[in-house]
Amino acid sequence: MVGVVLVQNTTWTQAAKVVDVLEKNSSLNWQALRDIDDETMWQWLRPAGYFRVKARRLKFLAHFMAGFNDSLTSLFSLETTELRKQLLGVNGIGKESADSIVCYGANRDVFVVDTYTKRLFSRLGWVGQNASYDEIQLLIHNSRAKDKNIFNEFHALIVRHAKEHCLKRPNCEGCPVNFCSKVGI
**Residues near ligand SF4, by CB under 6 A:** 120, 123, 165-166, 170-172, 175, 177, 180, 182-183, 185
Nearer to ligand SF4, 93 or 166 (CB): 166
Q: Burial-class residue 65 by CB neighbours within 10 Å (0-12, 13-18, 19+).
A: buried
Q: Which is nearer to ligand SF4, 3 or 170 (CB)?
A: 170
What value, to the nearest 5°, has the Cα angle with vertex 39 and ends 41 and 9? 45
For the CB of residue 121, give the shortest distance to ligand SF4 in the complex, in Å: 10
We find the least distance from the C-beta atom of residue 99 to ligand SF4, in angstroms, to be: 23
Whole-angstrom distance between the N-terminal and C-terminal Cα of the chain?
A: 37
In whole angstroms, the minimum distance from the beta carbon of 116 to ligand SF4 comes to: 10
Of the pair 25, 171, the CB lying nearest ligand SF4 is at 171
Q: Characterize 24-40 residue by residue with b for buried, 16 or more Cβ atoms within 10 angstroms of its Cβ, and e for exposed.
A: eeebbebeebeebeeee
From CA 53, how far away is CA 34, in angstroms rounded? 15
Minimal distance in Å, beta carbon 95 to ligand SF4?
24
139 or 172, CB closer to ligand SF4? 172
Nearest 5 degrees, angle CA 20-CA 25-CA 28?
65
Beta carbon nearer to ligand SF4, 76 or 116: 116
Q: How far is the CB of 153 from ligand SF4 (least distance, A)?
A: 18
